[in-house]
Each structure stands twice: as C-alpha cells, then as structure tokens.
C-alpha cells in the first residue's frame, strides 16, 4: 500500500454514492484504517449486496441509508443521527454519451445533489468535503503531462457538471474559509479489489475500454472495436493514464488526512503519471490472464483525444500519496472480479 496512516482514526465519514464502483473500494480502505463509515446511495447504478461485501472484506460494520442525496430531509436525518466529521461525495451520474442525449438529467442530479449536500453540511457545521471530479475538465489539453493549473474546458454535459461543481465549491470556500475542500480529478480508474468481491459491473454494453475488454474475454461480447490506430502515439492507438481503483481509493484516504490537518481548497490529479495505449492494455490483459481478446480497428470515436496522462507531482508532494499498482495488477484484478462473479 502506498498510503498508510498510523494514527487512530475514529472520525465518521459520510460517503455519498458509497455503493458504486469507486465509493465501495474507498469505504473498504477507510474501514481498514478504523474510520467509521456512513453510506447514502439511491442504488440508481449499484446494488445493495455491496454493503455485505464491504462488511465481509473488512469485518467492520457500516451504516447504510438508501435514498437520494438531493433529498434534504433525508440528509438532515442522516446528519442528526450521526455526528459526521467529513463527507466524500461520489454520488452522481457519469456516462458521457448519456449526458449528451439527456443533459437535464445530468445537470439536475449532479448539481442538485451537490447543492443539497453542501447546504445541509453548512447547517450542521460540517465543512470538510472531498469531491469526485474528473480529468475530463481538462478538455483537449495542449501539453502533457497534465498539471492541475492547466486551462479547464469541457466537451460534454457530464464534464460541464464537474466543472460547474468545481466552481461552486471554489465560491463556497471564498465566501467562508473555514471550509476544507479537496477536489480530486481522476484519470481512468480500472481494476478491482484483490478479494474479487467488489469491482466494476456496468449494465449493458460498456462504453469504457476495460469493461469492454473483459466482456470480450468472457465471450459475452464478440469483438472489441479499437477506435483508431492513426493517432500520434506509440502504436497509433489512444493513450490513457489507467489507475487501479484501490490506489484511487487510497488517494481519498490521503485527502481526508489532508482535511484533518489544513483548511483550504485543494485540487489534485489522481493518476499514475504513465500512459498506456489501447493495444498495450489489450496485450497485457491477454498475457496476464492467458485469454484471447478479439479486436478489430475501426474509425476514431468522435471527441476522443490521442493522449491523456497526469502530472502527479502535486498529489505526491502534498498528499504524500502515489499509485503503486501496475498495469498487470489492473488487468488481473479486473478479470478476476468478473470470473468470480459470473452469473
Ligand atoms: P458509480 O455509478 O459506480 O457510483 C456512483 C454511485 O452514486 C452509484 O452507486 C449510484 O447509485 C449513486 N448515486 C447517483 N446519484 C445519486 C443520488 N442523487 N443520490 C444517491 N446516490 C446516487 O460511479 P463511480 O465510477 O464509482 O464514480 C463515482 C464518482 O466519480 C462519480 O461522481 C463520477 O462522476 C466520478 N468519476 C468517475 C470516473 C470513472 O471512470 N469511474 C472518472 C472520473 C470521475
Ligand atoms: C472516458 C470519459 C471520461 C471519463 C473516463 C473514465 C469521454 C470523452 N471521456 O474517458 O470523462 O472520466 O472515460 O471513465 O468519454 N476505446 C476503444 N474501444 C472501446 C472503448 C474505448 O478503443 O470500446 C479507447 C478510446 O478510444 C480511448 C481508450 O480506449 O483511447 C479509453 O477509453 P475510455 O475507457 O472510454 O476512457 P476515456 O475516453 O479516456
């Protein structure tokens, strides 16, 4: 593990969207470090069984409220029943394509949940917040690796919700600097918990690369379409900064630790700093899992960029966190989760 906190932590953390992919891994890492965890999730993109899996992995208890973060009465009840010290806000919709066809759904849920949450936090004088943002806020970066200080822009409504929320949080901090806010910009999370109990389980045909590769490997889907092999990259296919979800979860533990020590508004990239091409990922997946993955080269996907990877210096210097898991770990754990949970 790259991040270890030796202090005794009895802080109580509210995790919105804690049943989802990144949320459930983060809950496990918090519980392993003796934080108390309260989850609120409306299960719009997750299953309640995850709660038992978190308990199995950690042998710790977790309190779960099924409900919507936009529901201020429910939030009040949660804050009344639990003395919350800090909040990690994962809840939100995240499918880029869907956000283009259903923008109102995305603006309503992502903005409303954040505004309601911040209002109730203020009401209960809880002013420590970690927010899930995305590398998508860098739009089409002019240089690499991407630093936190780069200009921000978006290419789709999902990305715009992240950028608008970042702005809201900056204004909130400006208005009252007793808040402590950490904005985390994730690169491309993949992989799963080594137990194989939790991982990414999208419904239907996946949009993202790793879940698609896994479904081709298990023969649920016939063939992976690789979107373009004429980019200016090592082999012509797109390059991304894939990060193991457990490393990402540990980045949240580090962010909570930062909030315990300092007031301010801080923004960090969470990535490995290293880019892999689509073909490199496919070939590594085949090798470590000893399976075949059929693929064909097709046209570029509109809106895709050639290369995207993080400068991770700021997170390393200020959060004392860095990713340690390899691309082989990511490929092995992604496949292991699906094999163990095949219906
Ligand atoms: P996820 O869909 O697996 O998890 C989100 C969880 O939030 C789900 O369990 C869903 O049921 C819940 N939820 C959604 N709206 C809610 C609401 N209004 N009230 C209560 N619960 C609600 O997604 P994830 O991959 O775990 O992503 C978590 C966060 O990280 C999201 O905000 C996402 O935009 C952001 N993010 C994800 C990625 C990625 O590649 N997975 C990359 C960058 C940023
Ligand atoms: C997408 C989202 C981004 C989100 C990220 C992680 C867009 C524009 N961006 O980024 O907001 O934070 O997912 O969830 O959608 N690829 C294929 N075949 C496929 C799928 C993908 O070749 O079937 C290629 C893509 O062209 C790209 C790479 O694989 O080069 C990664 O794609 P993907 O997993 O969708 O992530 P991003 O596009 O980086």
46 in helix, strand or coil? Answer: coil
Return the pLDDT at 8. Answer: 53
What whole-number distance in Å separates Cα of residue 327 and Cα of residue 239? 13
Token code pair at residue 47: 């299953």
Rounded Cα distance between 16 and 87, Å, is 8
Which residues make Cβ contacts (< 8 Å) with residue 236, sequence separation at least 6? Answer: 228, 229, 230, 277
Cα(34)–Cα(136) distance, integer angstroms: 33
Q: Which residues are catalytic?
A: 158
Pairing of strands 242-244, 276-277: unpaired
DSSP annotation string for 113-160: HHHHHHHHHHHTT--EEEEEEEGGGB-S-SSSSBPTTS--B-SSHHHH
One digit per residue, the tens of pLDDT, for the chain of length 343 reads 445 444 455 899 999 999 999 999 999 999 999 999 999 999 999 999 999 999 999 999 999 999 999 999 999 999 999 999 999 999 999 999 899 999 999 999 999 999 999 999 999 999 999 999 999 999 999 899 999 999 999 999 999 999 999 999 999 999 999 999 999 999 999 999 999 999 997 878 898 999 999 999 999 999 999 999 999 999 999 999 999 999 999 999 999 999 999 999 999 999 999 999 999 999 999 999 999 999 999 999 988 999 999 999 999 999 999 999 999 999 999 999 999 998 7
Residue 48 Cβ < 6 Å to ligand 1: no
Question: Of ligand 2's atoms, which has the minimum distance to the CA of residue 305?
Answer: 30
Angle formed at CA 212 by CA 139 and CA 1, multiple of 5 degrees: 75
Spatial distance between the Cα atoms of 339 and 333, rounded to a whole number of angstroms? 10
Give ∠ CA 49-247-133 in degrees, rounded to 5: 80
**Residue 53: closest CA among 85, 20, 89:** 20
pLDDT of residue 287: 98
Rounded Cα distance, 304 and 230, in Å:
12
Q: Does 269 sit in the ligand 1 pocket, CB within 6 Å?
A: no
Q: Nearest bound ligand to CA 293?
A: 2
Which one of 222, 278, 300 would you pick to mutate in the ligand 2 pocket, going by the greatest count of ligand atoms within 8 A of its CB?
Answer: 278
Mutate to test the pocket of ligand 2, among 159, 160, 188 (most ligand atoms within 8 A of CB): 188
> Which tokens go with 329?
């770990």
240/224 Cα distance (integer angstroms): 17
Distance of CA 222 from the midpoint of ligand 1 (Å):
28
Place of tokens 């109730």: 120
Rounded Cα distance, 167 and 310, in Å: 21
For residue 244, what is the enclosing H or E element?
strand 242-244
Residue 27's contacts (CB-CB under 8 Å, 6 or more residues apart) are: 15, 18, 37, 39, 54, 62
Atom 8 of ligand 1 has which residue's CA nearest to it? 20
For residue 145, cis peptide bond before it (omega within 30 degrees of 0):
yes
What are the backbone angles phi and psi of residue 282, rounded to the nearest 5°?
A: -60, -45
Q: What is the CA(209)–ligand 2 centre distance, in A? A: 6
User: Distance of alpha carbon 215 from its chain centroid, rounded?
Assistant: 21
Query: Whats the size of the chain, residue-wise?
Result: 343
**First-to-last C-alpha distance (Å) of the chain:** 31
94 alpha carbon – ligand 2 mean position (Å): 12
- d(CA 134, ligand 1 centre) in Å: 11
Preceding peptide of 339 cis, ω within 30°: no
Instruction: Give tens-digit pLDDT for 162-210.
Output: 999 999 999 999 999 999 999 999 999 999 999 999 999 787 889 899 9
Per DSSP bridges, beta strands 36-41 and 63-66 are parallel
């Amino acid at each position: 593990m790259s991040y270890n906190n030796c202090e005794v932590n009895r802080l109580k953390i509210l995790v919105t969207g804690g049943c989802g992919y990144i949320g459930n891994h983060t809950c496990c890492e918090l519980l392993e470090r003796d934080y108390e965890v309260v989850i609120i999730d409306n299960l719009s993109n997750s299953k309640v069984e995850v709660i038992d899996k978190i308990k199995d992995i950690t042998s710790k208890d977790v309190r779960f409220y099924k409900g919507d973060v936009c529901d201020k009465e429910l939030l009040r009840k949660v804050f009344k029943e639990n003395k919350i010290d800090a909040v990690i806000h994962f809840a939100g919709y995240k499918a880029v394509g869907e956000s283009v066809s259903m923008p109102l759904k995305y603006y309503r849920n992502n903005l409303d949940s954040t505004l309601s949450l911040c209002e109730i936090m203020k009401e209960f004088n809880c002013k420590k917040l970690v927010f899930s943002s995305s590398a998508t806020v860098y739009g089409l970066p002019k240089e690499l690796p991407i630093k936190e200080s780069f200009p921000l822009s978006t290419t789709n409504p999902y990305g715009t919700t992240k950028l608008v929320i970042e702005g809201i949080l900056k204004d909130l901090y400006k208005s009252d600097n007793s808040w402590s806010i950490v904005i985390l910009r994730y690169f491309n999370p993949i992989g799963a918990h080594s137990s194989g109990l939790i991982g990414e389980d999208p419904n239907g045909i996946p949009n993202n690369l790793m879940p698609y590769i896994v479904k081709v490997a298990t023969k649920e889907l016939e063939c992976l379409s690789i979107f373009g092999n004429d980019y200016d990259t090592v082999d012509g296919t797109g390059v991304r900064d894939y990060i193991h979800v457990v490393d990402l979860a540990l980045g949240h533990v580090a962010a909570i630790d930062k909030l315990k020590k300092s007031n301010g508004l801080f923004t960090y990239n969470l990535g490995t700093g290293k880019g892999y091409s689509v073909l490199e990922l496919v070939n590594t997946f085949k090798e470590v899992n000893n399976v075949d993955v059929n693929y064909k080269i097709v046209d570029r996907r509109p809106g895709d960029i050639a290369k995207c990877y993080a400068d991770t210096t700021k997170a390393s210097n200020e959060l004392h966190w860095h990713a340690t898991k390899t691309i082989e770990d990511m490929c092995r754990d992604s496949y292991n989760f699906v094999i163990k949970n095949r219906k």
